[in-house]
Structure 1
Amino acid sequence: MLFAKVAIQWAGSMMAIAGTAFAQVPGSFEVVGDTKVSAMMVFLGNEEKVYILDKVEGNPSQINGHPAWGVEWDIASSTATLMDIPTNTFCAAGMHFPNGSWATFGGNAAIGPGGKIGSMPNPGGVDALYDATYQDWDGRRAIRVLNPCASGSAGTPQCQWFDNTTYVGMQKARWYASTEALADGSIVIVGGYVNGGYINRNTPNVDPAYSGGAAEPTFEFWPSRGTPAAVMQFMITTSGLNSYAHLYLMPSGKIFAQANFSTILWDYNNNIETPLPDMPGRIIRVYPASGAVAMLPLTPGNNYTPTILFCGGSDMPEPAWGNYSWPAINTWAYPASRDCQRITPEPADGSQAMYIQDDQMLEGRTMGQFIVLPDSTLLVLNGALNGTAGYATQTGETPTYGQMPFGMSLASGPVLTPAIYDPNALPGQRWQRFGQPSSIPRLYHSTAVLLPDGSVLVAGSNPNVDVNLTTAFPTTYTAERFYPPYFANISTRPVPEGLPETLSYGGAAFQVSLPIGSFVGDPNEAAGSARVVLVRPGFSTHAMNMGQRLVQLNSTFEVSDNGNILLNVAQVPPNPNVLTPGPVLMFVLVRGVPSLGKMVTVGTGQFGTQPVQAASFLPPSRARPSPAPSAAAANADSKLTAETRTKAVAIAVALGGALIALIVVIFLIKKRRGDKRGSGSLEPSGHIGDATMSAPLCHPGFESQDLVWPYVNGSPQPRAYESESSLGPIVSPARTYSGVGPVR
């Protein structure tokens, strides 16, 4: 029965593989569909859905009488379903909630066609509350919450964006803000513009804190702690070049922050900053230099000690960056940096944190984006050889739009070929160019996110103030999937059993089985290579993935006499600062090839202090004895299974269908049932102890919009509030979510 069960599971996997085998070529980009809105922001909502957000602009796709700027992307069918969002999401921040819901924070004021100020100005006339043509509301204080739902639920109210700043909003207006999740599941929101453009300063920079009201140097929390937003000195120190500051929670509970060329450790509870060394060469990594930045994988081998990698960006001289209006130089003629630096902010030996020169990139990149892959390598893709992110109608050296050589784009020389960075390779050997070039330039407002099958969704590119399909780098609606190196062996993808639904911080270990037939090759070798990793793909925008990190769980193995593998897997390290509560993809890898990722919940699924137990106890690894009669028979059986499976896949791919593979498997099942079963079978026992439960993500029974919010994020019922800088409640009435109807 065990073999039959595994074979049926494997047949399902093979059907999926065979159906797409021609497209899943390692190193290739596969064009998969039309996103309907340009993908400025994307995140993986669950195993089936990706959510895409654009800024407000004149997209051809319409919803409720206005251009759409949000969609739900179905991974299996590569199709987009429009979603209505009342407020302007332009350059918002985003982060997950503990129960798997997601939120975006801030955005821009209401705009109309061509990026002009909306038709209903705010007091003072500098920006607008609403625009009658595009029907968008001021989104700078917005907190938009989404409850990702399963297929078939897109039209139901509880699966729509909750976006109503009458009830839910930030204390401050924020555009280009940064976010980081904290140990209790809450989120810190840092900095941003109030109004502005290219960079966050005037020239001369006589008011580095507020720039005459255009900059926002404060931070606040969601859910609110009930205290006013406080000034963060770091946002003043880094004035100008601090948009989308890089934030990473450390094991100590402090936050590593980097912007401009400055670096700190920040005790956000007490608002105390500890300076760390400046970025060598004063290379800028934040927007609009937009270097590729990521935390390297956290593993038992490095004792879960974070190291941050910075690559690319720009070393333009300080005056060249200009001001809110535009850069002072023709940025598209200035080469991007190749430089890479590592820093371990909290060294385990207590030594001083220092930047360390790493291998240079293969070419300079601005807007290159790191995607942490399940095999613990880092993929970099997208971006350009020259210039910066952003767009403008002129520069300090080119006074008219008609003279701009690439339309509004401030970058040139798209980098079309990805590269792989291996953090465990020897110095001098960490970079490898990999794959064929894409045919689609991905510059400003491009995105990428890891999918559950281990491929990467790549979308967006729009260095234009409004939709422009005829310029040098047009508004882009075409999505691609990129297939990393492990797709060369994807026919050997492991099929684990017993993956949990939830994970705790410490506590009893759990068990995952890899029955004979669910992997290929020698069981001892397969078991020795097995790894269990958790990947949080993050919120992708502006060449960064907020919240992205990989944590490898500690594990040991047992191999039975007949070749079944049982993995004893530790819970998450007993420190929520290492991996904050919320959704992650769990992968089991054998010989570097990942299983299909399963979405699991870390922690309780609720905001608040997370229960912490002692670190999981693991028994020592135990390989299968060799030689032994039963082992030899099982090994032969394993080889037969592997060889036959490989041949079946080859046949299925050659004929372009999965049916043949399924027939072969049925034959093997019948043959197997006629054989005598080996002894020593290991079955997964699941959690050894109680597991915490997460809050449910979907609530089909709720039909009233008023009942959606409390179940979306597990936080208290929101109340209308008044901004300290306004005369009354901030109002952007939520639209009805039935798919039709006027603004309420």
Structure 2
Amino acid sequence: MRAAPLFFILPCLAPTVFAAKAGSFEVLGDTLVSAMMLFLGNNDKVYIMDKAEGNAAQVNGHPAWGSVWDLNTNKAEVMEIKTNTFCSSGHHLPNGSFATFGGNGAIGPDASRGSDGYADDPNSASWDSVYQDFDGAKSIRILNPCTSDQDMSDPACQWFDDPSVLSMQAKRWYSAAEALADGTITMIGGFVDGGYILRLYPNTDPTIGAELSYEFFPSNGQPPQDLPFLHKTSGLNAYPHAFLLNSGKMFLQANLSTTIWDYSANTETDLPDMPNGVVRVYPASAATAMLPMTPANNYSQTIIFCGGSDMDDAAWGNFVSPSIATWYYPASKDCQRITPEPADGSVAKYTQEDDMIEGRTMGQFIILPDGKLLVVNGGLNGTAGFGRNTTAFSTAEMPYGQSYASGPVGQPAIFDPNAPKGQRWSNVGFDTSQIARLYHSSAILLPDASVFIAGSNPNLDVNTSTTVPYPTEYRAEKFYPPYFSASTRPAPSGMPSTLSYGGDPFDITIPASSYSGSGNDAAAATIVSVIRPGWTTHAMNMGQRYLQLNNTYTVNSDSSITLHVSQMPPQPNIFQPGPALLFVVVDGIPSNGTHVIVGSGKVEKQPTAAASTLPPSVLLSDANGSGSSSGSPTDSGSASAATQSSGSSSHIGLIAGIAGGAGALALIAIGVGICLARRRRSDRTPMISDKAGAGAPQRVSFGAAPYARESLKAESQVWLTDEDGHGPGTPVSSTYRDIGNASPVYGYSDAPNSLAVRAGPV
């Protein structure tokens, strides 16, 4: 099979200098909408999504719930999203585009039911006249990221969001999304109706309020299929954890259960339950990630879980709310790891890991270029979720406003999977953020190897009052990991823009100015890492993976170092096709990341080739780097320091089909493949800490003039095929009204005394 073509970035020989203090936070600016969800689009842009709510920022006459952050200017601008993205899932596509799946029905102020209800359902709505959001429960929204030199107002740079054209078959709220080896995305589970968790109590019918099925995007033409694992884990299976495995099967974890799921046959192989009774899925919301896959561990896939909650089953309550004062219940600090498919054929089992330094709910793992994991955000006590009251506590009795959690954890920590047991966690030298990052906060790795952190809004609607403990948060921050103590960072040349599965190797050159000391030592301490930051919400980074490429090296007479680097292993199951960041890391210090596309850029069986044989490494004893040697991060924050302290055709390429060939323009909504045009571009003493500072634009009121629904075809045209099955044919421009979306939403009610309206899921 042919290898994917390589396109190389022009050399940048000047060494890059870190300008920030290692272990510190920097407040960057205002995200305009609270960052419930976000993803890195490319080297220039971070895309941010909120739920439909009363943000002061306006777009087209209504409050915005989408924005885009420019990494060059640290400024945000609003983006139009038409449907309610409340607690969606999302994932990358093979060509670098992103999709967001599902959400909630239309809502108005204070999470009230939208003004335009369904005739046969008094609890759900298709549209709201104040916030002007449409029902997003079945929505599939597509965005092709643009760069700073493009016109962001161009429809090609905007969200495509029209469920009358492109939607799922089932309503999915709090679902999971995970890509397969060909780039197809699996959507798993979710709520149909709102609530704190997915059950009544006692739990006699797991189907109530739940979507216990899975489906694919692009669609395989089949209706959603029932997934037995979701029945087994009823109640605590919102945002289930899903990881594609080397075998092509999928690891699933929810409630206390674990399984390997063969999605092709819809069969399951049960693995041991999660030890110690710790729930890891929402609303326990543990930090979860697949550990780095490296040549040294033979690209083994090991998944780590840290934190969450060990509340007993009854304490979780039901759709309405928890049954205890969660905000006083300490979060777990327990960590477990599991290798679902051991290379030696042994039985998979959970292994106790070092405990976190403190318990966390809603903590989030970010995999760093040096192969360590940073945990940020979260609370010492309680769970995710919010409500005006609970079944046991009135509004006046809730001490932290509408939050089910308390005690923001503002100090990050580093986990080093390669450090000796008992020494894997550290927070030495890390500042503590003064911004609470609790429910609906997010974080993601940036190309400069810092971490972008934003969001937090444990409130039913926007609340920026200084009287609430945890107001709606609009401030974005960067956290600078330990390697920012280095004076100089690598400035490699020859970085490719695409990576293939197997095939010919490529060379990367590291100039002498990018390191100090012995060239031989620097070369031996250099790795090339591929990181997919993922699509993030609710303490999860869907799609996040780290893979170290195999390499050898030649130390040259001018003291530069040439790295001879293999392509990706010829197995798409371990790192699915799509966008990623490519880093060169010299002795723990990363270069800036280069945006690359892994694989063919299409939803298809990925071309593979044999893994290449690399030349042997060549040393040169008198080679020495000319970079500054001060401030080396080699030991900073390491495990040795561990401590317990307008219509256009611009979206035709987005919505119409490359699966199986670039010429077929076929509408996905009728089950034909997609083509997305490639663009260049526990102790029981509660832990309490002072609340973090606040400050954000005040919520404003909006008039009730309805949005022009007849133009909801979005800012583009989508084309059906013609009578012969070829496109372009007839443009689709129908008004969206999902008349089939009609089932109770337990989280919403017009009854003023309803517990349901006071205990949102959400």
Q: CA deviation at 1:555?
A: 0.5
Determine whether 1:389 maps to 2:384. yes
Change (3 A) 1:646 1:328: closer
Give CA-to-partner distance per residue, 1:537-593, whole Å, 9 cap, x none: 001100010000100000011112332211110110110001000011000000100
Letter in 1 for 2:82: P
2:483 is paired with a residue whose SS is: helix
Query: How many angstroms apart in 2 are the aligned matches of 1:112 and 1:599?
Result: 39
Report if aligned partners of 1:312, 1:368 keep a CA contact under 8 Å in 2.
yes
1:394 is paired with a residue whose SS is: coil
Report if aligned partners of 1:165, 1:732 keep a CA contact under 8 Å in 2.
no
* Structure with greater helix share of residues: 1
> Paired residue for 1:56?
52
- The correspondence of residues 273-352 of structure 1 with structure 2, limited to 5 A, is 273-352=268-347
1:156 aligned to which of 154, 157, 163:
154
Determine whether 1:733 maps to 2:712. yes
Query: How many angstroms apart in 1 are the aligned matches of 2:665 and 2:419?
Result: 48
Q: CA deviation at 1:734?
A: 3.5
> Paired residue for 1:243?
238
Query: How many angstroms apart in 2 are the aligned matches of 1:121 and 1:720?
Result: 25
2:123 is paired with a residue whose SS is: coil
Determine whether 1:718 maps to 2:712. no
Q: Higher Cα Rg: structure 1 or 2?
A: 1
Query: How many angstroms apart in 1 are the aligned matches of 2:668 and 2:448?
Result: 41
Q: CA deviation at 1:709?
A: 3.2
> Paired residue for 1:539?
535
2:395 aligned to which of 398, 401, 405:
401
> Paired residue for 1:380?
375
> Paired residue for 1:27?
23
Query: How many angstroms apart in 2 are the aligned matches of 1:483 and 1:317?
Result: 38
Change (3 A) 1:731 1:371: farther
> Paired residue for 1:204?
202
Report if aligned partners of 1:165, 1:733 keep a CA contact under 8 Å in 2.
no
Determine whether 1:167 maps to 2:155. no
Change (3 A) 1:587 1:712: farther
- The correspondence of residues 171-570 of structure 1 with structure 2, limited to 5 A, is 171-208=169-206, 210-211=207-208, 214-398=209-393, 400-434=394-428, 435-470=430-465, 471-489=468-486, 491-570=487-566
Determine whether 1:138 maps to 2:135. yes
Report if aligned partners of 1:166, 1:721 keep a CA contact under 8 Å in 2.
no
Q: CA deviation at 1:395?
A: 2.2
> Paired residue for 2:627?
642
> Paired residue for 2:16?
13
- The correspondence of residues 40-51 of structure 1 with structure 2, limited to 5 A, is 40-51=36-47
Report if aligned partners of 2:196, 2:321 keep a CA contact under 8 Å in 1.
yes
Report if aligned partners of 2:22, 2:484 keep a CA contact under 8 Å in 1.
yes
- The correspondence of residues 557-636 of structure 1 with structure 2, limited to 5 A, is 557-624=553-620, 626=621, 631=622, 635=624
Query: How many angstroms apart in 2 are the aligned matches of 1:710 and 1:590?
Result: 41
Report if aligned partners of 2:218, 2:668 keep a CA contact under 8 Å in 1.
no
Give CA-to-partner distance per residue, 1:226-278, whole Å, 9 cap, x none: 11100000000000100000000100001000000000000001100000000
2:318 is paired with a residue whose SS is: coil
Q: CA deviation at 1:525?
A: 0.8
Q: CA deviation at 1:441?
A: 0.6
2:649 aligned to which of 694, 701, 704:
704
Q: Which has the higher contact order (CA 8 A, sep 6+)?
A: 2
1:127 is paired with a residue whose SS is: strand
Q: CA deviation at 1:522?
A: 1.4
2:230 is paired with a residue whose SS is: helix
Q: CA deviation at 1:202?
A: 1.3
Q: What is the TM-score normalised by the length of structure 1?
A: 0.85
Q: CA deviation at 1:385?
A: 0.6
Q: CA deviation at 1:76?
A: 1.4
Query: How many angstroms apart in 1 are the aligned matches of 2:342 and 2:710?
Result: 47
Q: CA deviation at 1:501?
A: 1.3
Give CA-to-partner distance per residue, 1:650-670, whole Å, 9 cap, x none: xxxxxxxxxxxxxxxxxxxxx
Change (3 A) 1:128 1:425: same
Query: How many angstroms apart in 2 are the aligned matches of 1:29 and 1:564?
Result: 34
Query: How many angstroms apart in 2 are the aligned matches of 1:572 and 1:7?
Result: 22
Give CA-to-partner distance per residue, 1:500-547, whole Å, 9 cap, x none: 111111111111111222332211111001100000000110001000
Provide the identity percentage. 54
Query: How many angstroms apart in 1 are the aligned matches of 2:304 and 2:524?
Result: 29
Report if aligned partners of 1:524, 1:559 keep a CA contact under 8 Å in 2.
yes
Give CA-to-partner distance per residue, 1:625-664, whole Å, 9 cap, x none: x3xxxx3xx54xx4xx335x979xxxxxxxxxxxxxxxxx
Query: How many angstroms apart in 1 are the aligned matches of 2:445 and 2:735?
Result: 35
Query: How many angstroms apart in 1 are the aligned matches of 2:669 and 2:342?
Result: 45
Change (3 A) 1:204 1:8: closer
Letter in 1 for 2:225: A
Report if aligned partners of 1:138, 1:732 keep a CA contact under 8 Å in 2.
no
2:121 is paired with a residue whose SS is: coil
Query: How many angstroms apart in 2 are the aligned matches of 1:275 and 1:112?
Result: 42
Query: How many angstroms apart in 1 are the aligned matches of 2:520 and 2:249?
Result: 41
Change (3 A) 1:29 1:245: same
Give CA-to-partner distance per residue, 1:336-357, whole Å, 9 cap, x none: 0010001000000000000000
Q: CA deviation at 1:711?
A: 6.2
Report if aligned partners of 2:84, 2:134 keep a CA contact under 8 Å in 1.
yes
2:396 is paired with a residue whose SS is: helix
Q: CA deviation at 1:394?
A: 1.6
> Paired residue for 1:127?
124
Query: How many angstroms apart in 2 are the aligned matches of 1:731 and 1:256?
Result: 43
> Paired residue for 2:105?
109
Between the two proteins, the alignment pairs up a number of residues equal to 651
Query: How many angstroms apart in 2 are the aligned matches of 1:251 and 1:731?
Result: 47
Query: How many angstroms apart in 1 are the aligned matches of 2:390 and 2:616?
Result: 64
Letter in 2 for 1:27: G
Report if aligned partners of 1:40, 1:55 keep a CA contact under 8 Å in 2.
yes
1:235 is paired with a residue whose SS is: helix
Query: How many angstroms apart in 1 are the aligned matches of 2:516 and 2:627?
Result: 5
Q: CA deviation at 1:204?
A: 2.3
Query: How many angstroms apart in 1 are the aligned matches of 2:627 and 2:249?
Result: 48
Unaligned runs of 5+ in 1: 1-5, 648-701, 723-729
> Paired residue for 2:731?
none
Report if aligned partners of 1:336, 1:366 keep a CA contact under 8 Å in 2.
yes
Report if aligned partners of 1:441, 1:473 keep a CA contact under 8 Å in 2.
yes
Let me know the Cα RMSD of the aligned residues.
Answer: 2.2
